[in-house]
């Protein structure tokens, strides 16, 4: 999943980025509201982590504007402001959560996972997918008690599709959210097709995967 960290404290920004990338998130960073707007014009994000105390803009004003630019993103406010009215205004403007500084990076990750599950309609970190179980926290796919050996990218792809089940996803969408940005010159839909083929092969050795649908000329969808 793609994350934009909007935070002017560079040390904190680096800590968040390193931590989330170890958990297989793709992270961009912006230290000002102007940098953030440029990135949001060029990219789609699953999460936007937003500090309210930016040097060139109030974070609440930026939140109000960016909700229109990235309506599908989930927003978490990260701030040292402790005023109740700031928290209420941020949530009223569409933030999904509010995390006061200082905070635990593990708690941040846990809240991000909870938001993803809630938005997908799954509040349990272990999701059922046909005859399979997907443990989002442990990054494991199991059939009965047998763990299926998916590669890191195969798991990222499958879990992203599960969290967006019943939605058509284009190959470009999947590539951007799993591999990062592709320019027109280096984008190749074969990246996705090869991994989908591998996922099907590994999982059909245990049970049918009719829920994983190919949409001709579009991409893929998990239908449950």
What does the alpha-carbon distance between residue 164 and residue 11 come to, in Å, rounded to a whole number?
A: 33
In the chain, ranges of CATH 1.10.10.10 domains: 126-222
pLDDT profile of the chain (224 residues), mean per 10:
93 95 90 94 90 88 85 88 73 87 90 84 77 88 93 90 87 79 54 92 95 91 89
- Tens of pLDDT, residues 174-219: 887 777 655 444 445 688 899 999 999 999 999 999 999 999 888 9
Pairing relation of β-strands 2-6 and 47-51? parallel
CATH number of 126-222: 1.10.10.10
Domain(s) labelled CATH 3.40.50.2300 in the chain stretch across 2-120
The CATH code of domain 2-120 reads: 3.40.50.2300
Phi-psi map region of 79: left, alpha, beta (phi>0 left; psi -120 to 50 alpha): beta
Q: What is the DSSP string of 126-179?
A: EEEETTEEEETTTTEEEETTEEE---HHHHHHHHHHHHTTTS-EEHHHHHHHHH
Which residue in this structure is represented by tokens 């978490």? 76
Q: 50 and 63 in contact (C-beta within 8 Å)?
A: yes
Residues in Cβ contact with 180 at an 8 Å cutoff, skipping those fewer than 6 apart: 2, 26
Which residues lie below 8 Å from residue 167, measured CB to CB, with a gap of 6+? 221
């Amino acid at each position: 999943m793609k994350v934009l960290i909007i935070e002017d404290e560079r040390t904190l920004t680096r800590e968040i980025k390193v931590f989330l990338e170890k958990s297989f998130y793709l992270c961009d960073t912006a230290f000002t509201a102007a940098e953030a707007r440029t990135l949001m014009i060029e990219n789609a994000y699953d999460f936007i982590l937003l500090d309210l105390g930016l040097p060139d803009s109030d974070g609440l004003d930026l939140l109000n504007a960016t909700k229109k630019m990235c309506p599908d993103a989930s927003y978490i406010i990260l701030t040292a402001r402790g005023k109740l009215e700031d928290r209420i205004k941020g949530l009223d403007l569409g933030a999904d959560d509010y995390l006061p500084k200082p905070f635990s990076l593990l708690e941040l990750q846990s809240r991000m996972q909870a938001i993803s599950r809630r938005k997908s309609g799954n509040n349990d970190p272990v999701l059922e997918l046909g005859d399979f179980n997907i443990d989002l926290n442990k990054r494991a796919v199991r059939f009965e008690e047998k763990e299926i050996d998916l590669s890191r990218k195969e798991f990222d792809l499958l879990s992203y599709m599960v969290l967006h089940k019943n939605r058509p996803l284009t190959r470009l969408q999947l590539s951007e959210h799993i591999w990062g940005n592709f320019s027109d010159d280096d984008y190749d839909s074969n990246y996705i097709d090869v991994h989908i083929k591998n996922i099907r092969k590994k999982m059909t050795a245990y049970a049918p995967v009719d829920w994983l649908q190919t949409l001709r000329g579009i991409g893929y969808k998990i239908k449950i």
